[in-house]
């Protein structure tokens, strides 16, 4: 057809999306190193408060990961992801109260997240765009209010007195009452959730979701049923949120209906947007950042929402890729330079 | 080449109709697309050409009539099923994924050549799709732009990519909706050569406005007017048809 | 006679209470639905503007301004705020990628800030302004507090006025034209930017007015918008996003459902029932009962 293109390698190996994901992995690695140093320091000085606070930040980072899978990759804004986080928390608490075993609670939360995620996904995926946001919001509200009014689930008090469990892998085990031990465990657990999400998003299925965010209609003409792809993304996000919620009663010893409410869902959305939607690692950093802001600003005024709200608005207006968007492109450039021979 | 199933034509459209309100946008349209021929649908604006494409490609459901692909009834099937059955289409207005790279767009479009479970393995394992995307990059002269975002391509490049995406899944029939829309004269010539080249492997049906191109490119022409087929036949015969002269060329 | 007593002393008062709430919800929902119908923006800060209206009324009332004056002053005070929010914030992201999501997020952030500012200024505890009209009347054997009667009538007048402005005036025609096709409207000489900002300000002012009207019945506190906005969103969705008639019908219907459900089932189940209606509505008829502003 045209004159032959100037000598440039037709480089299928250098895939921008894979490079972007690798850049996220670099940042995730930095986070793990920092967290390990923090844990060592915390354990050395015998700290409990900050270790537990950081553990909670990581648990909510798991919820934010779920929101990012939907919002940042599939283009679906969930305003009710707390539904699955709370589901995981309640199921885990109930299981632990019956059988004090981590793996039983994990299995129950996995199963509940999958089943309820499928049902919720079938309902929510009937609509798109703002209607999806509002229906997820509505579903979480319905379930939240029902739990709030159900005496068997502790109604407005929630479930208290979840026993301390021993979390074991083969010969190695530790008690969930140990702040440093639980922190390290939750760190590993959330990083596994991150790795699984990253893996899925780097498969053709994940690429399909990314394509759907830009142009869902065209995906059908590539031979894929958009509704099915959206449902898969929804169920994955439900399971990630549920598995994150399952950790909550192990840390706090109780669960309450607030875990299901809009404040929880909304916080996860703020976390993702502030950290950087569509980066996965932004959800992790965002959660830590918000926790730091809350506890730091909270130490001299209880009005941290003004600070968080203004920061969030500024990010929405000025930083469409969030705070991670300030850093990650530089790492991407470094990585793609490295790959050139 | 795959064996031709029961000798049926690649595409057969029978009595296809749809209405929008009182408007009969496509009204009792029937025609056949024979294997390895270039069939072109022409007609004045509003004749129902694009609606016809939307009906055939599953973007719209017909009210009446049938769409048969190699003799199999696929009337009203959703687009993804038609694509899997071997019917692919491009769009008049470029309709792609602006943020994806050119290579990734083609790899994604080629993914249906892979076994389904490959979708759950890292993309680098999808070697068939990667090879197909690489071949398409070469064939459509987009290799130099492989790593660029689709949004960064020129109009002509986007139009070529639009065709390449439709071709990626190795369809039996390729529907091209005004492939040269908005192109310069030189680009149009090149695209015509490309389509002729494609027609060696795949049956092509297109909508086209450039009459010179239609006459030189087509084996078979279907003329639509006010939702109906006004005439069909070889280009020269159609051009000579007085009814076509009146309706389409605007003079008797 | 037990049946009549039941009607007179139990069911009817409950329905009147529901009607008063319904009128108030419609006022809030009207603002939401106009903003969505015209700008395509889900205003997540709408509940906070409702609270802001109540607090501004509280503050002005405490320096001695009469309630009647506040009914006019508070919406007027919110107009410029709404106008500036639209021009200064929403327009910044309006033309970006995913307008629905970014404007929703932006107004969500704004809501958080307003709520916390109200907490900072007035404290977290509820305030209870005095009822401007005390006493009550008996209508057809049902006792109705005077203020609720006033609320129902005043609200109905405002709703009718809004509908008249949108559907009967030249201004309303411009608004509807801009909602239908902004480019076409602009080419016809409609000042689209001002219409957008004006419509947002108008919606916000309606929320503020609802805040003033409801303050004497419900307490005034910074998070008062939260629960109320859920109901307003439900009303907007069930009625059809962007439909004024839909907001009125759905608002009155859903508040009656709440009122009756709290009698026959239990007050704690009213929210799940109403949200359940919304979810079912979204599933079977996402466009709601009525069509969108400018489109029907």
What is the β-pairing status of strands B173-177 and B87-89? parallel
pLDDT, chain B, mean: 86
Coil, strand or helix at B15: strand
Q: Which of B57, B78, B111, B175 to mutate against chain A (most A CBs within 10 Å)?
A: B111
- Of the pLDDT bands very low, low, confident and very high (cuts 50, 70, 90), residue C9 is low
- Beta-carbon contacts of A32 under 8 Å, excluding residues fewer than 6 positions away, are A187, A191
- Record: contact B169-A8, CB cut-off 8 A: no
Task: Calculate how close chain A gets to C221, using CA atoms only, in Å.
Answer: 15
- Record: contact A204-B97, CB cut-off 8 A: no
The closest alpha carbon to A315, from B248, C102, C187, C10, belongs to C102
Give the domain-ending residue among B169, B191, B206: B169
Task: Calculate how close chain A gets to B235, using CA atoms only, in Å.
Answer: 26
| Partners of residue C42 in chain A, C-beta under 8 Å | 130, 133-134
Q: Per mean pLDDT, which range of A80-89, B187-196, C176-185 is the poorest? A: C176-185
Q: Which of B86, B88, B100 to mutate against chain A (most A CBs within 10 Å)?
A: B100
- Minimum CA–CA partner of A124 in chain C: C283
Q: Closest partner residue to A207 among B96, B112, B123, by Cβ?
A: B123
- Record: contact B134-A10, CB cut-off 8 A: yes
- Chain A / chain C CB contacts < 8 angstroms: 106
The closest alpha carbon to A260, from A248, A274, A252, belongs to A248
Q: Provide mean pLDDT across the span C271-292.
A: 78
Coil, strand or helix at C221: coil
Radius of gyration of chain A (CA): 21
Task: Calculate how close chain B gets to A235, using CA atoms only, in Å.
Answer: 15
Q: What is the pLDDT of residue C4?
A: 67
pLDDT, chain C, mean: 84
Dihedral angle of Cα A12, A16, A17, A22, to the nearest 10 degrees: 110
Dihedral angle of Cα C49, C51, C57, C63, to the nearest 10 degrees: -120
> B100 and B143: one domain?
yes
What is the total count of domains within chain B? Answer: 2
Residue C230 near residue C120, CB atoms below 8 Å: no
Give the domain-ending residue among B169, B200, B231: B169
Q: Closest partner residue to A138 among C89, C269, C279, by Cβ?
A: C279
Tell me, yes or no, whether B219 lies in a domain.
Answer: yes
Tell me, yes or no, whether B218 lies in a domain.
Answer: yes
Q: Give B232's Cβ-side CA count (13 Å radius).
A: 14
Q: What is the ipTM of this complex?
A: 0.87
Higher pLDDT, B234 or B244: B234
Q: Which residue has the tokens 């829309």?
A: B181
Q: Provide mean pLDDT across the span C179-190.
A: 78
How many whole angstroms from its chain centre is CA C180? 23
> B162 and B183: one domain?
no
Tell me, yes or no, whether B1 lies in a domain.
Answer: no
Task: Calculate how close chain C gets to A149, using CA atoms only, in Å.
Answer: 6
- Record: contact A77-C108, CB cut-off 8 A: no
Could you tell me the end-to-end alpha-carbon distance of chain B, in angstroms, rounded to an integer?
45
| Partners of residue A202 in chain B, C-beta under 8 Å | 122-123
| Partners of residue A11 in chain B, C-beta under 8 Å | 103, 146-147
| Partners of residue A127 in chain C, C-beta under 8 Å | 282-283, 286
Give the domain-ending residue among B119, B138, B169: B169
Tell me, yes or no, whether B224 lies in a domain.
Answer: yes
Q: What is the pLDDT of residues B76-131, one digit of tens each?
A: 889 999 999 899 999 888 888 888 999 999 999 999 998 888 888 888 888 899 99
- Beta-carbon contacts of B186 under 8 Å, excluding residues fewer than 6 positions away, are none
Segment of C80-89, C95-104, C160-169, C255-264 carrying the highest mean pLDDT? C80-89
Q: Per mean pLDDT, which range of A81-85, A104-108, A111-115, C290-294 is the poorest? A: C290-294
**In this structure, how many other beta carbons lie within 10 angstroms of the beta carbon of residue C116?**
22
> B21 and B55: one domain?
yes
Q: What is the pLDDT of residue A340?
A: 52
Residue A301 has pLDDT above 90, yes or no: no
- Beta-carbon contacts of C31 under 8 Å, excluding residues fewer than 6 positions away, are C43, C46, C49, C202, C203, C204, C205, C206, C207, C210
Q: What is the pLDDT of residues C68-83, one digit of tens each?
A: 888 899 999 999 999 9
- Minimum CA–CA partner of B151 in chain A: A214
Q: What is the pLDDT of residue A268?
A: 95
Q: Closest partner residue to C286 among A77, A131, A266, by Cβ?
A: A131
- Record: contact A312-C271, CB cut-off 8 A: no
Tell me, yes or no, whether B19 lies in a domain.
Answer: yes
> B186 and B65: one domain?
yes
Q: If 0-12 CB within 10 Å is exposed, 13-18 middle and 19+ buried, where does residue A263 land?
A: middle
- Record: contact B83-A6, CB cut-off 8 A: no
* Alpha carbons A95 and C32: distance in angstroms, whole number: 43
Angle subtended by helix axes C12-39 and C192-214, to nearest 10:
160
> B105 and B63: one domain?
no
H or E stretch covering B28: strand B23-33
- Minimum CA–CA partner of A135 in chain C: C279
Q: What is the pLDDT of residue A323?
A: 92
pLDDT, chain A, mean: 88
- Record: contact B120-A215, CB cut-off 8 A: no
Residue B29 is encoded by which pair of tokens? 């349209």
Which domains, and CATH codes, for chain A? 18-268 (1.10.3470)
* Alpha carbons A240 and A64: distance in angstroms, whole number: 9
% of chain C residues with pLDDT over 70: 94
Q: Closest partner residue to B83 among A208, A221, A226, by Cβ?
A: A221
Q: Per mean pLDDT, which range of A147-156, A319-328, B3-12, C171-180 is the poorest? A: B3-12
Note down the domain range covering B36. Answer: 8-86+171-252
* Alpha carbons B235 and B238: distance in angstroms, whole number: 5
What is the β-pairing status of strands B64-69 and B38-42? unpaired
Phi, psi of B63 (to 5 degrees): -85, -40
Instruction: Give the E-state strand segments of C51-94 in sequence order.
Output: none
Residue C189 has pLDDT above 80, yes or no: no
> B69 and B108: one domain?
no
What is the β-pairing status of strands B11-20 and B64-69? antiparallel
> Which CATH number is B67's domain given?
3.40.50.300
Residue A190 has pLDDT above 90, yes or no: yes
Convert chain A into a string of H (helix), E (strand) and C (coil).
CCCCCCCCCCCCCCCHHHHHHHHHHHHHHHHHHHHHHHHHHHHHCCCCHHHHHHHHHHHHHHHHHHHHHHHHHHCCCCCCCHHHHHHHHHHHHHHHHHCCCHHHHHHHHHHHHHHHHHHHHHHHCCCCHHHHHHHHHHHHHHHHHHHHCCHHHCHHHCEECCCCCEEEECCEEEECCCHHHHHHHHHHHHHHHHHHHHHHHCCHHHHHHHHHHHCHHHHHCCCCCHHHHHHHHHHHHHHHHHHHHCCHHHHHCEECHHHHCHHHHHHHHHHHHHHCCCCCHHHHHHHHHHHHHHHHHCCCCCCHHHHHHHHHHHHHHHCCCCCHHHHHHHHHHHHHHHHCC
Q: Which chains touch B (3 or more CB pairs under 8 A)?
A: A
The CA-CA-CA angle for residues B136, B215, B191, to 5°, reads 20
The closest alpha carbon to B138, from A2, A114, A205, A155, belongs to A2
> B137 and B113: one domain?
yes
**In this structure, how many other beta carbons lie within 10 angstroms of the beta carbon of residue C252?**
19
Residues of A with a Cβ under 8 Å from any C Cβ are 71, 75, 77, 123, 126-127, 129-131, 133-135, 137-139, 141-142, 145-146, 148-149, 262, 266, 269-270, 273, 303, 305-306, 308-310, 312-313, 316-317, 320
Q: Provide mean pLDDT across the span A50-73.
A: 94
- Record: contact A142-C279, CB cut-off 8 A: yes
Q: What is the pLDDT of residue C295?
A: 52
Q: Which chains touch C (3 or more CB pairs under 8 A)?
A: A
Q: What is the pLDDT of residue B161?
A: 93
H or E stretch covering C32: helix C12-39
Tell me, yes or no, whether B235 lies in a domain.
Answer: yes
> B139 and B208: one domain?
no
Residues of A with a Cβ under 8 Å from any B Cβ are 1-2, 5-6, 8, 10-12, 14-18, 199-200, 202-205, 207-208, 210-211, 214-215, 217-218, 220-226
Q: Which of B86, B123, B125 to mutate against chain A (most A CBs within 10 Å)?
A: B123
> B111 and B53: one domain?
no
Q: What is the pLDDT of residue C266?
A: 77
- Minimum CA–CA partner of C273 in chain A: A142
| Partners of residue A227 in chain B, C-beta under 8 Å | none
* Alpha carbons A19 and C80: distance in angstroms, whole number: 47
Helix, strand counts (H, E) of chain B: 9, 10
Q: What is the pLDDT of residues A5-38, one digit of tens each?
A: 444 434 445 678 888 888 999 999 999 999 999 9
| Partners of residue A265 in chain C, C-beta under 8 Å | none
Residue B102 is encoded by which pair of tokens? 């050119």
Q: What is the pLDDT of residues B162-219, one digit of tens each?
A: 999 999 999 999 999 988 888 888 888 888 888 888 888 899 999 988 888 888 888 9
Residue B252 has pLDDT above 50, yes or no: no
Q: Per mean pLDDT, which range of C34-38, C181-185, C290-294 is the poorest? A: C290-294
> B32 and B131: one domain?
no
CA-CA distances (angstroms) from residue A135 to A72, A117, A131?
19, 14, 6
Handedness of CA B194, B199, B205, B209 (dihedral sign): positive
| Partners of residue A149 in chain C, C-beta under 8 Å | 268-269, 272
Residue A261 has pLDDT above 80, yes or no: yes
Residue A21 is encoded by which pair of tokens? 């994901």
* Alpha carbons C102 and C93: distance in angstroms, whole number: 7
- Record: contact A266-C108, CB cut-off 8 A: yes
Q: Which of B92, B129, B144, B186 to mutate against chain A (most A CBs within 10 Å)?
A: B144
The closest alpha carbon to C102, from A320, A135, A324, belongs to A320
Phi, psi of B193 (to 5 degrees): -60, -40
| pTM of the complete model | 0.89
Residue C180 has pLDDT above 70, yes or no: yes
Residue B150 is encoded by which pair of tokens? 């689709």
| Partners of residue A75 in chain C, C-beta under 8 Å | 98
Q: Closest partner residue to A15 among B79, B104, B168, by Cβ?
A: B104
Q: Per mean pLDDT, which range of A135-139, C248-252, C287-291 is the poorest? A: C287-291
Q: What is the pLDDT of residue B183?
A: 82
Q: What is the pLDDT of residue A11?
A: 44
What is the β-pairing status of strands B72-73 and B64-69? antiparallel
Q: Per mean pLDDT, which range of A82-91, B207-216, C124-133 is the poorest? A: C124-133
Strand partners, B13: B31, B67
| Partners of residue B166 in chain A, C-beta under 8 Å | 221
CA-CA distances (angstroms) from residue A318 to A68, A322, A333, C93, C248?
19, 9, 22, 9, 38
- Minimum CA–CA partner of A312 in chain C: C109
The closest alpha carbon to B178, from B83, B86, B94, belongs to B94
> B131 and B102: one domain?
yes
- Record: contact B84-A221, CB cut-off 8 A: no
> B81 and B175: one domain?
yes
- Record: contact C275-A146, CB cut-off 8 A: no
- Beta-carbon contacts of B197 under 8 Å, excluding residues fewer than 6 positions away, are none
| Partners of residue C118 in chain A, C-beta under 8 Å | none
Residue A58 near residue A190, CB atoms below 8 Å: yes
Give me the helices (H) in chain B, please: 49-56, 79-85, 102-110, 127-139, 155-168, 185-198, 211-217, 235-240, 242-247
% of chain C residues with pLDDT over 90: 20
Q: What is the pLDDT of residues C235-247, one digit of tens each?
A: 988 888 778 888 8
**In this structure, how many other beta carbons lie within 10 angstroms of the beta carbon of residue B21?**
6
Q: Closest partner residue to A221 among B89, B149, B194, by Cβ?
A: B89
CA-CA distances (angstroms) from residue A111 to A106, A114, B44, C43?
9, 5, 58, 36
């Amino acid at each position: 057809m045209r004159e032959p293109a100037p000598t440039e390698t037709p480089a299928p190996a250098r895939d921008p999306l894979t490079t972007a994901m690798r850049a996220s992995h670099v940042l995730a690695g930095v986070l793990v190193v920092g967290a390990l140093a923090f844990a060592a320091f915390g354990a050395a000085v015998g700290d409990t408060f900050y270790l537990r606070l950081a553990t909670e930040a990581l648990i909510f980072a798991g919820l934010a990961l779920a929101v990012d899978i939907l919002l940042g990759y599939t283009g679906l804004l969930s305003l009710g992801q707390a539904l699955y986080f709370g589901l995981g928390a309640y199921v885990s608490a109930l299981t632990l109260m019956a059988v004090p075993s981590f793996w039983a609670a994990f299995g129950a939360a996995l199963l509940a997240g999958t089943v309820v995620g499928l049902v919720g996904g079938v309902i929510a995926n009937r609509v798109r765009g703002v209607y999806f946001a509002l229906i997820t919001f509505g579903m979480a509200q319905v379930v939240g209010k029902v739990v709030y009014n159900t005496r068997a689930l502790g109604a407005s008090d929630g479930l208290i007195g979840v026993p301390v469990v021993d979390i074991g892998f083969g010969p190695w085990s530790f008690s969930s009452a140990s702040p440093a031990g639980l922190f390290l465990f939750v760190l590993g657990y959330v990083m596994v959730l991150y790795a699984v999400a990253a893996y899925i998003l780097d498969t053709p299925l994940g690429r399909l979701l990314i394509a759907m965010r830009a142009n869902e209609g065209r995906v059908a003409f590539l031979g894929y049923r958009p509704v099915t792809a959206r449902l898969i993304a929804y169920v994955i996000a439900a399971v990630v949120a549920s598995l994150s919620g399952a950790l909550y009663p192990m840390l706090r010893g109780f669960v309450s209906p607030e875990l299901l409410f809009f404040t929880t869902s909304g916080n996860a959305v703020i976390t993702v947007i502030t950290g950087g939607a569509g980066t996965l690692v932004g959800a992790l950093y965002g959660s830590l950042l918000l926790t730091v802001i809350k506890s730091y600003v909270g130490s001299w005024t209880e009005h941290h929402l003004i600070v968080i709200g203004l920061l969030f608005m500024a990010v929405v207006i000025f930083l469409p890729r969030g705070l991670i968007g300030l850093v990650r492109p530089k790492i991407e450039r470094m990585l793609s330079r490295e790959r050139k021979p | 080449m795959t064996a031709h199933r029961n000798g049926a034509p690649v595409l057969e459209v029978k009595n296809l109709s749809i209405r929008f309100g009182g408007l009969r946008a496509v009204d009792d349209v029937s025609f056949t697309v024979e294997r390895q021929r270039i069939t072109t649908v022409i007609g004045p604006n509003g004749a129902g050409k694009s609606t016809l494409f939307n009906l055939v490609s599953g973007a719209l459901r017909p009210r009446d009539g049938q769409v048969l692909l190699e003799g199999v009834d696929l009337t009203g099937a959703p687009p993804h099923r038609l694509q899997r059955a071997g019917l692919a289409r491009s769009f008049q207005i470029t309709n792609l994924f602006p943020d994806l790279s050119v290579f990734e767009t083609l790899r994604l479009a080629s993914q249906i050549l892979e076994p389904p479970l490959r979708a759950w393995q890292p993309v680098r394992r999808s070697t068939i799709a990667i090879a197909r995307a690489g071949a398409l990059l070469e064939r459509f002269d987009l290799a130099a732009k492989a790593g660029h975002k689709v949004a960064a391509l020129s109009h002509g490049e986007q139009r070529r990519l639009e065709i390449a995406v439709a071709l990626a899944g190795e369809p039996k029939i390729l529907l091209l909706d005004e492939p040269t829309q908005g192109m310069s004269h030189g680009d149009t010539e090149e695209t015509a050569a490309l389509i002729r080249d494609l027609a060696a492997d795949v049956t092509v049906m297109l909508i086209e406005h450039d009459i010179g191109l239609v006459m030189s490119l087509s084996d078979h022409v279907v003329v639509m007017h006010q939702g109906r087929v006004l005439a069909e036949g070889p280009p020269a015969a159609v051009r000579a048809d007085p009814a076509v002269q009146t309706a389409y060329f605007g003079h008797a | 006679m037990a049946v009549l007593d039941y009607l007179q002393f139990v069911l009817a008062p409950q329905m009147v209470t529901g009607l008063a709430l319904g009128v108030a919800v419609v006022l809030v929902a009207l603002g939401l639905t106009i903003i969505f119908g015209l700008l395509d923006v889900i205003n997540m800060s709408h509940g906070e503007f409702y609270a802001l209206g109540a607090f501004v009324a509280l503050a002005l009332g405490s320096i001695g301004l009469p309630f009647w004056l506040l009914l006019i002053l508070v919406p007027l005070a919110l107009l410029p705020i709404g106008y500036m929010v639209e021009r200064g914030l929403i327009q910044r992201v309006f033309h970006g990628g995913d307008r629905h999501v970014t404007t929703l997020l932006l107004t969500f952030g704004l809501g958080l800030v307003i709520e916390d500012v109200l907490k900072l200024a007035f404290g977290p505890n509820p305030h209870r302004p005095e009822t401007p009209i005390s006493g009550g009347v008996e209508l057809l054997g049902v006792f109705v507090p005077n203020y609720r009667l006033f609320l129902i009538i005043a609200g109905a007048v405002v709703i009718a006025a809004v509908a008249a402005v949108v559907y009967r005036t030249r201004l309303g025609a411009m608004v509807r034209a801009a909602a239908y096709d902004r480019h076409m409207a602009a080419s016809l000489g409609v000042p689209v930017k001002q219409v957008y900002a004006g419509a947002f300000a108008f919606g916000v002012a309606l929320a503020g007015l609802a805040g003033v009207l409801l303050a004497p019945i419900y307490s005034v506190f910074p998070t008062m918008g939260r629960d109320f906005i859920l109901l307003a969103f439900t009303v907007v969705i069930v009625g059809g996003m962007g439909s004024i008639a839909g907001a009125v019908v759905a608002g009155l219907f859903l508040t009656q459902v709440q009122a009756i459900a709290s009698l026959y089932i239990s007050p704690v189940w009213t929210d799940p029932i109403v949200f359940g209606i919304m979810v079912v509505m979204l599933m079977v008829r996402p466009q709601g009962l009525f069509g969108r502003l400018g489109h029907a």
